[in-house]
Amino acid sequence: MAKVEKTLANGTTEVKQKEDKKQKNTKKSVKAKDQKQKRSRVKETMSELKKVSWPSFGKTMKQTGMVISVVVLFMLVTLGIDSLLSWLLKLITNI
């Protein structure tokens, strides 16, 4: 980088560093490479998403129903165990 001195109207001197043309070009080329890489990643992602075998709506609904059923079943089992233990604790502490 080259130093550039500039005298202002009030008599002070301002020193700035000026970038060389080579450095500017390398910065531009780095930015261009980054943009190309981002574009290629997006294109690759889109092409991979087109290859995905997405499940049908009916299959998705069946699987969602199964998940909800299992969650409700475990909730009821947990509630039952909690109620049983609570009843046993009351029975023991009242004696």
Q: Are 39 and 7 in the same domain? A: yes
42 and 59 within one domain? no
Q: Are 89 and 72 in the same domain? A: yes
Range of the domain at 68: 55-95
- Alpha-carbon span 19 to 4, nearest angstrom: 10
Domain count, the chain: 2
Question: Is residue 72 domain-shared with residue 35, that is, in the same domain?
Answer: no
pLDDT at 4 over 70: no
Convert the pLDDT of each residue in 13-72 to its tens digit.
766 666 555 566 666 677 778 888 888 899 999 999 999 998 999 999 999 999 999 999
Residue-level pLDDT at 70: 98
Could you write out the three-class secondary structure of 3-59?
EEEEECCCCCEEEEEECCHHHHHHHHHHHHHHHHHHHHHHHHHHHHHHHCCCCCHHH
pTM over 0.75: no
Please tell me whether residues 44 and 7 are part of one structural domain: yes
pLDDT in tens, 70-91: 999 999 999 999 999 999 999 9
Average pLDDT over residues 3-14: 68
Asked if residue 2 and residue 48 are part of one domain, the reply reads yes
Cα 39 from Cα 89, distance rounded (Å):
64
42 and 86 housed in the same domain: no
Please choose, from the candidates 20, 28, 24, the residue with its C-alpha nearest in 3D space to the C-alpha of residue 1: 20
